[in-house]
Structure 1
Amino acid sequence: MDTDERVPHEGEPHHNGLAGRLNWLRAGVLGANDGIISTAGLVVGVAGATAERTAILAAGVAGLAAGALSMAGGEYVSVSTQRDTELAALRKEERELLEMPEAEERELADIYQQKGLSPELAAQVAHELTEKDPLHAHAEAELQIDPDNLTNPWQAAWASFLSFAVGALIPLVAIALPPVGARVGTCMAAVIVGLVLTGYISARLGGAQARRAVTRNVVVGVLAMVVTYYVGVLFGVTVG
């Protein structure tokens, strides 16, 4: 068995290049999806209350900015916490390698033995990897952490900000450009197309059934728009 081709178990973080890129892409698609649904609900709700383009645009732009900043801030805090946890685990592993190197090498050999290597080969692999770069060898095998590829909170924050903003632009542009009578219908159509795309892409990236993901995505988005639209209508009638 090639120990460099280890496949992480479900629930373990993926730190190889391809899996990392897929995770970032999936997060970007989901961020865009959030931007589409939340902004669509907001602008359709306002459109139900008033026909004034300025009010609709103001609400949409405010929702885009607030949502994108909220997503970015939440992602920054979350990934910063994850990075702090990874750094703490690496410092602990580095300390253990200095204080009890033989025990750590035996532990590494046990890990490879549990993966199917013979005791002799596991011990040889553990010894050679430890000789080459002990921290990398132990971090990747024991902690599933690549010390050279730690999570980046700023990268995560910007990715979330941009993906949400891009998604939010779909309903915002779709409801701002058409004439009054076609605004809501055009926005709903554009949002459905956007949700079909994000649902399909996220399903393909996650290895799930595309039809189920798309259906769920579209149903949730349409339901949000219908509810907020009639809330806006009710509000508009009340104040009128």
Structure 2
Amino acid sequence: MSDDRAGNDEEPDAPDEPDHLGEHPDEPHHNGLGTRLNWLRAAVLGANDGVVSTAGIVVGVAGATDSRSALLTAGLAGLLAGSLSMAAGEYVSVSTQRDSEQAALAVEQEELATTPQAELAELTGLLEERGITHELAREVAEQLTARDALGAHARVELGIDPDELANPWHAAWASFVSFTAGALLPLLAIVLPPQSWRLAVTVASVVVALVACGRISADLGNAPARPAVVRNVAGGVIAMAVTYAVGTLLGAAGV
């Protein structure tokens, strides 16, 4: 029987591309996800600070006086002081962190330029410490070094992602905005309603905001929501109770 398949055979199908996402193709795998979550968590905490600190101020003043102008003045002063303080502190903190990371990267770059073999051996050892055999660790280290030596050492040795260095200006702005957003809630709640409703509206608004902040913080940290919410609400309520008591005493004393 003649075999004429040689002329009719089709080229074999190309192998499918490997599915690096496994069974979760929709799950985010971007290297910057952790950084974005950290920023979101910081924003939530900033808003929470704005709610608690400003609520404490205006409720304390409300215990001493019924003057809407006094409440507005105290609330605005607390809002501006708190937001600017948060922004300045975040700028200094993130700037220091960024300077330290850049200095560490500069040292690593110098070591890679002067002692590349020693750095390759160091990277191999670090990979072995993670449970990889020496042969595989050496192969992986060589491939990582050939692709991006500084990036490999930064991530494995220093725990730094050179592409995700924090921006101090972004951090300062985020802190300013989040604190201001949180502070506006108790400020508006204390000055807009009629006098007889001020405290009730303020306390209710603050409790709702603290429940939301506690729940979001717990979700971002994969922690149980109930304890986080209870702690957050309890802290805010205690702060308002203490400042209101102090304000009432000062008001009664005519201070």
TM range (shorter): over 0.9
Match of 2:103 in 1: 88
Q: Is the 8 A contact 2:50 2:180 kept in 1?
A: yes
Residue 146 of structure 1: CA displacement?
1.3
Match of 2:136 in 1: 121
Q: Give the counterpart letter for 2:44 in structure 1.
A: V
The answer as to 2:207 corresponding to 1:192 is: yes
Match of 2:16 in 1: none
Matched ranges for 1:145-224 at <5 A: 145-224=160-239
Separation of aligned partners in 2, 1:40 and 1:203: 22
Residue 209 of structure 1: CA displacement?
1.4
**Structure 2 unaligned blocks of 5 or more:** 1-19, 22-29
Identify the structure with the greater helix proportion: 1
Matched ranges for 1:55-70 at <5 A: 55-70=70-85
Q: Is the 8 A contact 2:35 2:164 kept in 1?
A: no
Residue 143 of structure 1: CA displacement?
0.6
**Larger Rg: 1 or 2?**
2
Q: Give the counterpart letter for 2:210 in structure 1.
A: L
Matched ranges for 1:13-52 at <5 A: 16-52=31-67
The answer as to 2:65 corresponding to 1:53 is: no
Residue 116 of structure 1: CA displacement?
2.0
Secondary structure of the residue aligned to 1:230 is: helix
User: Mean Cα displacement is larger for which, 106-115 or 27-36?
Assistant: 106-115
Q: What RMSD in Å do the two structures reach over aligned CA positions?
A: 1.5
Pairing partner for 2:246 from 223, 231, 236:
231
Match of 2:89 in 1: 74
Separation of aligned partners in 2, 1:217 and 1:132: 47
Give the percent of matched residue pairs that are identical in Structure 1 and Structure 2. 61
Secondary structure of the residue aligned to 1:148 is: helix
Residue 27 of structure 1: CA displacement?
0.4
Q: What is the TM-score when the length of structure 1 is the normalising length?
A: 0.92
Q: What is the TM-score when the length of structure 2 is the normalising length?
A: 0.87
Residue 200 of structure 1: CA displacement?
0.6
Cα distance per residue 1:172-201 (max 9 Å; x no partner): 111111111110111000000000000010
Cα distance per residue 1:70-115 (max 9 Å; x no partner): 0011111111110011011001101111111000001111111222
Residue 133 of structure 1: CA displacement?
1.5
Separation of aligned partners in 2, 1:180 and 1:86: 53
Q: Give the counterpart letter for 2:31 in structure 1.
A: N
**Structure 1 unaligned blocks of 5 or more:** 6-14
User: Mean Cα displacement is larger for which, 57-66 or 132-141?
Assistant: 132-141
The answer as to 2:106 corresponding to 1:106 is: no
Q: Point out 4+ residue stretches in structure 1 off by more than 2 angstroms.
A: none
